[in-house]
Structure 1
Amino acid sequence: MRYYLDTNVLIFFLLDNDQLSTDVFEIINDYSNSFYVSSIVVKEIIHLHKRGIIKESRFKTANDILSAIKKAGIEIKPLNEYHLIKYAEMIIPVHEHNDPNDHVIIAQAISDQMPIVSSDHQFKHYTHQGLNFIFNKR
């Protein structure tokens, strides 16, 4: 099966962090599954690294993070016109969830008809719009 990973889950995965739930750990360790991240997720991680929020010694540069994503076999999916059309059509519950990066990541997952794994409970607000959401309960 194919899965999108959200920013938080990708960070936990790359850092060999114990913040992955048992269910998500099993999904990630199933070699028959394929994993993808939005280019927006990569942008967020590079931004966090440049701000010093990701302080992992093996990630001295942002390129080290890109290399780790590639080495893990995770494909970076660029945004396309269909993703932006879905984003434009989405109903955004602004009072509950005001993160435009997340909105685009969600639109991409809906458009590509792939489940997304995230620790962000706000993603549940989009299941009625077609999001297949797998919650990583930490």
Structure 2
Amino acid sequence: MKRILLDTHALLWWLADDQNLGVKAREIIADPRNQIFVSAASTWEISIKRALGKLEAPEDMDSLVEDEGFLPLPISLYHGDQAGLLPEHHKDPFDRMLIAQAQAEGLTIITCDEKFPPYKVRLINASS
């Protein structure tokens, strides 16, 4: 069993059946033995970008995440502290939160973000 955290783009690619999401990543997400987590940071990022007109995405992410059988990952005070302590390799606050959550909870992140590798976090390339 793998414990996986989806980066926001990987979540959106999965929901849209986007071909940018690679075969290996799809197999991992689809495997019922794996626990797939979606962070509150991702749904927050999606709602902000949707409201600004920068992104077209479904509105009821809570229901969609539940329907997919994914597990919600709330943001804790500890996660907030850890995100603030991360080195400045990446300035995006949503991504920094995902990294902090993955480190704190022992999760592997499915992402294509090229700024994630300098952090001590396990990664799976979303395009592979």
Instruction: Name the TM-score class by shorter chain.
Output: 0.7 to 0.9
Amino acid in the other structure paired with 2:33: S
* 2:102 aligned partner: 109
TM-score (norm 2): 0.88
**Structure 2 gap ranges (5+):** none
Q: How does 1:1-138 map to 2 (within 5 A)?
A: 1-55=2-56, 59=58, 62-63=59-60, 65-93=61-89, 97-127=90-120, 131-137=121-127
The Cα shift of 1:66 comes to: 2.4
Identity %: 28
The Cα shift of 1:107 comes to: 0.5
The Cα shift of 1:45 comes to: 1.2
Q: Alignment RMSD, CA only?
A: 1.7
Aligned residues: 127
Cα deviation per residue 1:54-98 (whole Å; 9 max; x = unaligned)? 436xx3xx22x32211111112211112212322332122xxx32
> Structure 2: how far apart are the matches of 1:81 and 1:4?
18
> Structure 2: how far apart are the matches of 1:41 and 1:98?
16
> Structure 2: how far apart are the matches of 1:72 and 1:50?
24
User: Is contact 1:83-1:108 (8 Å) kept?
Assistant: yes
* Displacement over 6 Å in runs of 4+: none
User: Is contact 1:121-1:135 (8 Å) kept?
Assistant: no
The Cα shift of 1:23 comes to: 1.4
> Structure 1: how far apart are the matches of 2:65 and 2:114?
24
